[in-house]
Amino acid sequence: MAEESPDSAYHSNGSSLEEEAAERMEDEEQERLLSYWQSVGRGHQVDVPRDMAEPIQQLTRNNSPQERQTIPFTLIQRKEKYEFRNQVWYEDLLLHFLKVTFVSSGLYLGITIPIVTIVHTNESQSEMTQSVTVAYYLPEVLQDQPPHPFDSDIIIEEWPSTIVYSRSFRGITNEDSIMREINLLAEILESPELCLQDTFIIAGYTNPAAANRHNEIWFLQRP
């Protein structure tokens, strides 16, 4: 009669405990991330349902710059405090919060960087409006045949080549920090009147839940 050795039983139990601990940690991470994004969503009057927990977790894990495709651009000039770029856009998914990462087939699109948020201000640039659009560059392999969005709030647009003036900053992005960065870049630009005065872009290069995020503020040159 075959008998299980004490060592085998120990390793078997040890493996089971490790698997249970790993599953518990994964569940806790999923809950933490969902809670974070639900909190962010409430600030923008957006409901983030529980079934978004897994997509949010996948988005967070696909956070390594080496694994992400970046938007192609040409650096025209680098100033001491900002850069002057020719930003080339092809087809972009404009998204309604995080739902952009999945399409009707359930395919995870991955994510490209930066994730951009288009914001608008009043004429005096003293406050932001409630109109906010989040977008990201469609991965190159999907350019010829873009997937069909599963949600009517998600649309595919083609953006023309655009001149942007950019300045880096770190930390969280909220209305106060965005307005501060808009005013800072407006002060150091040599000819701010060449740019749109009520439309700006915040480009995010790291996980939105990270405390020390790498961001940029973009001013768009008038067509």
Q: Are residues 15 and 86 in the same domain?
A: no
Torsional class of 203: left (φ above 0), alpha (ψ -120 to 50), beta (otherwise): beta
Q: Are residues 46 and 145 in the same domain?
A: no
Domain residues for 10?
6-55
Q: Are residues 175 and 69 in the same domain?
A: yes
Asked if residue 1 is part of any domain, the answer here is: no
Q: Are residues 44 and 99 in the same domain?
A: no
Nearest to 97 by CA among 4, 208, 20, 13: 208
Q: How far is CA 15 from CA 7, 12, 25, 28, in A?
A: 12, 5, 15, 20
CATH number at residue 88: 3.20.80.10
Q: Are residues 69 and 49 in the same domain?
A: no
Q: Are residues 80 and 45 in the same domain?
A: no
Q: Are residues 44 and 111 in the same domain?
A: no
Please state the domain count of the chain. Answer: 2
The number of beta carbons lying within 10 Å of the beta carbon of residue 152 is 7
pLDDT given for residue 142 in this prediction: 74
Q: Are residues 170 and 209 in the same domain?
A: yes
pLDDT given for residue 4 in this prediction: 55
Backbone angles phi, psi at 7, to 5 degrees: -65, -40
Query: Average pLDDT per run of 10 along the chain, which is 223 residues long?
Result: 55 69 80 76 64 67 52 62 49 40 48 82 86 79 74 77 90 87 92 91 77 87 89
Q: Are residues 115 and 214 in the same domain?
A: yes
